[in-house]
């Protein structure tokens, strides 16, 4: 208890902000330097997070108990100090488990668990989890009390200013007010009398005045912050229609885009076919012109014959050479059109036949 009393002497004030303790096991330390950090009220000691300062030896030693189920600062495979059993508590120094304190005893700041609960604490404890007391016991002004003051009775209140930092980097003050009134009531700070808590919609100046423990910026009690939100059925219908409409719209847009791409690809294929067909017709014209030129030259060199040779008679039987004149003097240049694996000696025009020949070749 001597260590507990020494720690309470410097609860609220510190000469300056100091860095967290860095002295490891076996290092020198001083119990007089232990205090609560200004603004955050976190316990500070010169020893590091896994050791405490022994008041007898003034040395940092491994902690003998822990307050939290999962303490900070320990390695993954390290053995945690034990939790204190029922009827005992682990102080801020975390040196050893101590017996719970009687009403009126000194307790450390905001450590309601250090105080012995009152009889019938099941009806007095804060079941809503707003931090008003623990099992009906509360530590106010470093003194153990019972939270059993009823509406209209005198009460004790403790207002603590915490330092908060906003997203803009500025520091703000947050006042937390605690009292020893029963749940369902609060202690009026001006009259120091317990009053009934206000329902949702009532005027308020602080969270503790509302039964929901949520005083809105408008000055009225609002719903509890953990109240689940209930949405009307028409909202579900609107969301479903919008989602379905969005899906259908996306599908239509994709269909239109794909259709446009298919049309462009079809036009490109048509243009390519027309260019290839025009090129083929040019080759056929050149081949025919060359054939006619060679045939005219051969006719001039050959002896006149009784049978007249015409284009039509030539194409009637391209396999039979002319009857007059030596066959080797006739060039025999002609073109054949191959379509579907068959040879057709008749001249064909793709636009007249309705089907473009697949290929052509010249034979001699």
Q: Express each pLDDT in 53-99 by its tens digit.
A: 999 999 999 999 999 888 888 888 888 999 999 999 999 999 999 99
Residue-level pLDDT at 337? 42
Residue-level pLDDT at 228? 85
d(Cα 23, Cα 49) in Å, to the nearest integer?
A: 9
Nearest to 66 by CA among 41, 47, 86, 91: 91
Q: Are 337 and 284 in contact (CB under 8 A)?
A: no
Residue-level pLDDT at 5? 39
Residue-level pLDDT at 302? 64
Q: How far is CA 101 from the centre of its chain?
A: 47
Nearest to 200 by CA among 220, 185, 219: 220
| Residue 326, CA atoms < 13 Å, CB-side half-sphere | 3
What 3-state DSSP class applies to 23?
Answer: strand
Structure tokens at 103: 């009403």
Q: Which helix (H) or strand (E) holds 140?
A: strand 137-140
Span 280-292, pLDDT tens digits: 998 889 988 888 8
Helices (H), the chain: 2-8, 121-124, 233-301, 311-316, 350-353
Question: Exposed, middle or buried, 63 (CB in 10 Å: 0-12/13-18/19+)?
Answer: buried
Span 196-228, pLDDT tens digits: 999 999 999 889 999 999 999 999 999 988 888
Q: What is the largest CA-CA distance in the chain?
A: 149
Residue 20 banded pLDDT, cuts 50, 70, 90: low
pTM tops 0.75, yes or no: no
Q: Which residue has the higher pLDDT, 314 or 140?
A: 140
d(Cα 176, Cα 41) in Å, to the nearest integer?
A: 12
**Rounded mean pLDDT, 33-37:** 91
Residue 295 banded pLDDT, cuts 50, 70, 90: confident
Span 231-282, pLDDT tens digits: 888 999 999 999 999 999 999 999 999 999 999 999 999 999 999 999 999 8
Residue-level pLDDT at 361? 41
Burial profile 97-106: b = 16 or more Cβ within 10 angstroms, e = fewer: bbebbeeebb
Nearest to 149 by CA among 116, 113, 188, 110: 188
Nearest to 150 by CA among 111, 201, 185: 185
């Amino acid at each position: 208890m001597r260590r507990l009393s020494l720690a309470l002497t410097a609860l609220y004030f510190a000469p300056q902000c100091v860095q967290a303790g860095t002295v490891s096991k076996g290092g020198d330390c001083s119990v007089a330097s232990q205090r609560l950090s200004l603004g955050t009220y976190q316990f500070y000691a010169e020893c590091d997070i896994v050791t405490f300062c022994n008041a007898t030896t003034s040395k940092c030693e491994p902690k003998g108990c822990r307050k939290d189920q999962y303490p900070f600062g320990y390695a993954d495979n390290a053995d945690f100090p034990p939790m204190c059993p029922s009827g005992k508590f682990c102080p801020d120094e975390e040196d050893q488990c101590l017996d719970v304190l009687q009403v009126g005893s000194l307790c450390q700041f905001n450590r309601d668990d250090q105080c012995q609960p009152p009889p019938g604490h099941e009806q007095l404890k804060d079941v809503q989890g707003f931090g008003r007391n623990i099992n009906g016991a509360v530590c106010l002004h470093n003194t153990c009390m019972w939270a059993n003051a009823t509406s209209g009775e005198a009460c004790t209140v403790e207002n603590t200013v915490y330092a908060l930092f906003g997203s803009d980097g500025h520091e703000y003050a947050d006042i937390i007010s605690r009292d020893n009134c029963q749940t369902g009531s609060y202690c009026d700070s001006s009259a120091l009398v317990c009053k009934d808590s206000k329902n949702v919609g009532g005027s308020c100046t602080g969270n503790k005045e509302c039964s929901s423990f949520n005083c809105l910026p408008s000055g009225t009690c609002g719903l509890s912050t953990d109240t689940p939100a209930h949405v009307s059925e028409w909202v579900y219908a609107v969301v479903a229609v919008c989602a379905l409409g969005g899906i259908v719209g996306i599908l239509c847009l994709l269909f239109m885009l794909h259709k446009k791409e298919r049309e462009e690809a079809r036009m490109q294929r048509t243009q390519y076919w027309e260019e290839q067909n025009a090129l083929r017709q040019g080759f056929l014209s050149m081949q025919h012109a060359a054939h006619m030129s060679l045939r005219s030259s051969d006719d001039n060199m050959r002896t006149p014959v009784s049978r007249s040779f015409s284009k039509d008679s030539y194409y009637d039987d391209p396999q039979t050479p002319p009857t007059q004149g030596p066959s080797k003097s006739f060039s025999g240049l002609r073109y054949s059109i191959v379509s579907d694996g068959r040879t057709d000696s008749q001249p064909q025009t793709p636009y007249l036949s309705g089907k473009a020949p697949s290929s052509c070749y010249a034979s001699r």
